[in-house]
C-alpha cells in the first residue's frame, strides 16, 4: 500500500476520520489497528517480527528503569541491543553474509552454496529497529521514562505514516503527543496539504519520470557505451531522483502527521546547496544523521578526542551508515568515501565550519565550495547506485577518463530533454538559498500558487507505471 496509490488514500480517509472523531483512547486503538493493516498489507508475516520487537523493547524498557544496579541496567540494555541488532543482522544481512561466505569457501576449493536467493527482507526493518533502540537507550541514559501503555508504545513503533521509510521518530518526541489530542487548526491543514502535495509531486512527477533514464544509464550493458556527457547527466538524474523520491516520501509522511495534529521532525533541508560535507549531512536524511551522531558517533568519543581518534570515529560512523542503507560492499564504499571526505574536510578546516550568511564579496567562494561538495556527492552516488564495483568503475571511467581520450560525445544528448525534470528541484533549492542568504520568505500566496501548480502537474504528468519508493529496500 504505497502513498501514491488510490488504495492508500481511501485507507487514510477512514483512518483519519477514526483518529479525529472517536474518543482519544479509542482513536489511538483504531490508529494502531490501521497501522497493523498498513504494514501487513505487504506481507502479514512481517507483523510477527515487528510484534516481537515491540514486546521485547516494551518489557526491557521497564526493566532498565526499575533496575537498581548499574550492571543490571547495562545487562537489560544489552538485551535490547542484541535482540534488535540481531534481528536486523539476520533478516537484512543474512543474504550478504551467505554470498560472501560462499565466495570465501570457493576460494579455497569448497563447492558449497550459502546464498539465500529467496530471502525476503521485511519492509522498513532498518527504520523501526532504530526507533525501538532509541527508546531503550534513552531510558538507560535517563532521558525518558518507560511508556506505561503497551498500546501507546506499539503505536509509536508501528505508526503508519513513517513506519516503512522514516523519518526516524524518537520516543521522547512522539510518545508525549499521544497523551492528549491536539486541536487541528487551519494552519495544520494548510501545512499538511502543502507538504503532501509537494511530496507527491517530487515522487510521482520528478522521481518516477527520471527512473527509466536512470535505469538505462546505470545498466551494466548501457554504462560501457555512454559518452562522458551522458554519464554525468545520468548521475545528475540519479541524484535528483533519490532526493525527490526520499524527500517526497518524508514530505508525505510529515504532511499526514500534520493532518492528524502530530509533529514529525524535518528529514531534508535542501542538501544540494551545502557548502561543506558536514553541512550536507545536517541536511540529508536528518533523522538518520542525528541518530548516528547521538547513538554512535558521540558514544565513540565524538570530537572530544585526539585527531586520529576523531577520524576513526567518523569512519566507523559513516561505514556503518553506508551499511545501514544496504547489505552490499558498494554501500560500504559509499559510506567510507563520505567518511574519508569528512576526515579530509576536518583536517583542512581544523574542525571549524563557516556556515553564516555570506557577504557579496564571499559569494563566488561560497558558490565554488557548493560546487565542489555537489560534485563530490555526485561522484559518490555512483557507488550507491551501481550494482557492484566493476559497474561503478565503468561509470567513473566514462565520467572522468573518457574526456581525456577525446570522446566527449556532445552530439549524443538524447537524455538531455530530461533536464526539465531537474528544474523543480533546482528551483526549490534556490528558493531555500534565497531564504538563508538573503532573508527572502515565500508569502502565503506564493505557497498556495506553488501548491496549486504542483497539484495541476500531478494530474497531467502522472506516469502510467508503478515505481516503488527507493528507500523501501533499506
Residue count of the chain: 474
Cβ proximity of 147 and 134 under 8 Å: no
Cell of 176: 508525549
* Of residues 288, 234, 283, the one with CA closest to residue 409: 234
Cell of 184: 487541528
Alpha helices in 142-276 (DSSP H): 150-158, 171-174, 186-200, 208-217, 220-223, 228-259
Distance CA 422, CA 238 (A): 10
Distance CA 261, CA 276 (A): 35
Cell of 264: 514529525
Cell of 417: 530533454
Cβ proximity of 186 and 180 under 8 Å: no
Quick check: is 418 catalytic?
A: no
| Contacts of 355 by beta carbon, 8 Å cutoff, 6+ apart | 275, 276, 279
Catalytic-labelled residue, pool 188, 270, 285, 325: 325
Distance CA 17, CA 458 (A): 25
Cβ proximity of 287 and 167 under 8 Å: yes
Distance CA 130, CA 113 (A): 32
- What spatial distance separates the first Cα and last Cα of the chain, rounded to whole Å? 17
Beta strands in 68-160 (DSSP E): none
Active site residues: 325
Amino acid at each position: 500500500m504505497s502513498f501514491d496509490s488510490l488504495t492508500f488514500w481511501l485507507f487514510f480517509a477512514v483512518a483519519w476520520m477514526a483518529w479525529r472523531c472517536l474518543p482519544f483512547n479509542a482513536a489511538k486503538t483504531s490508529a494502531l489497528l490501521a497501522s497493523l493493516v498498513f504494514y501487513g498489507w505487504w506481507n502479514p508475516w512481517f507483523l510477527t517480527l515487528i510484534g516481537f520487537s515491540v514486546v521485547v523493547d516494551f518489557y526491557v524498557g521497564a526493566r532498565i528503569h526499575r533496575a537498581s544496579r548499574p550492571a543490571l541496567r547495562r545487562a537489560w540494555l544489552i538485551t535490547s541491543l542484541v535482540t534488535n541488532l540481531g534481528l536486523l543482522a539476520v533478516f537484512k544481512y543474512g543474504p550478504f553474509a551467505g554470498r560472501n561466505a560462499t565466495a570465501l569457501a570457493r576460494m579455497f576449493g569448497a563447492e558449497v552454496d550459502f546464498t539465500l536467493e529467496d530471502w525476503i527482507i521485511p519492509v522498513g526493518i532498518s527504520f523501526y529497529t532504530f526507533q525501538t533502540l532509541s527508546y531503550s537507550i534513552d531510558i538507560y541514559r535517563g532521558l525518558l521514562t518507560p511508556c506505561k501503555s503497551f498500546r501507546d508504545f506499539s503505536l509509536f513503533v508501528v505508526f503508519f505514516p513513517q513506519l516503512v521509510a522514516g523519518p526516524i521518530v524518537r520516543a521522547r518526541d512522539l510518545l508525549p503527543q499521544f497523551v492528549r489530542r491536539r486541536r487541528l487548526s487551519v494552519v495544520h491543514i494548510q501545512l499538511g496539504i502543502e507538504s503532501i502535495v509537494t511530496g507527491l509531486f517530487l515522487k510521482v512527477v520528478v522521481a518516477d519520470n527520471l527512473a527509466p533514464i536512470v535505469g538505462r544509464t546505470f545498466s551494466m550493458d548501457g554504462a560501457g557505451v555512454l559518452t562522458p556527457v551522458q554519464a554525468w547527466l545520468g548521475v545528475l538524474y540519479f541524484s535528483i531522483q533519490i532526493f525527490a523520491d526520499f524527500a517526497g516520501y518524508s514530505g508525505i509522511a510529515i504532511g499526514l502527521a500534520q493532518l492528524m495534529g502530530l509533529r514529525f521532525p524535518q528529514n531534508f533541508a535542501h542538501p544540494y546547496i551545502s557548502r561543506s560535507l558536514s553541512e550536507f549531512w545536517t541536511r540529508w536524511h536528518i533523522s538518520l544523521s542525528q541518530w548516528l551522531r547521538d547513538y554512535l558517533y558521540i558514544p565513540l568519543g565524538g570530537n572530544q578526542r585526539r585527531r586520529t581518534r576523531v577520524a576513526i570515529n567518523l569512519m566507523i560512523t559513516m561505514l556503518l551508515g553506508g551499511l545501514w542503507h544496504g547489505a552490499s560492499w558498494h554501500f560500504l564504499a559509499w559510506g567510507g568515501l563520505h567518511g574519508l571526505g569528512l576526515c579530509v574536510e576536518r583536517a583542512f578546516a581544523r574542525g571549524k565550519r563557516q556556515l553564516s550568511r555570506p557577504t557579496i564579496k564571499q559569494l563566488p567562494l561560497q558558490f565554488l565550495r557548493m560546487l565542489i561538495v555537489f560534485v563530490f556527492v555526485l561522484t559518490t552516488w555512483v557507488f550507491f547506485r551501481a550494482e557492484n564495483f566493476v559497474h561503478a568503475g565503468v561509470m567513473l571511467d566514462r565520467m572522468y577518463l573518457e574526456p581525456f581520450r577525446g570522446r566527449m560525445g556532445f552530439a549524443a544528448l538524447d537524455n538531455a530533454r530530461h533536464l526539465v525534470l531537474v528544474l523543480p528541484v533546482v528551483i526549490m533549492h534556490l528558493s531555500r538559498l534565497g531564504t538563508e542568504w538573503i532573508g527572502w520568505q515565500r508569502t502565503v500566496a506564493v505557497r498556495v500558487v506553488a501548491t496549486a501548480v504542483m497539484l495541476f502537474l500531478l494530474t497531467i504528468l502522472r506516469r502510467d507505471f508503478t515505481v516503488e519508493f527507493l528507500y523501501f529496500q533499506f
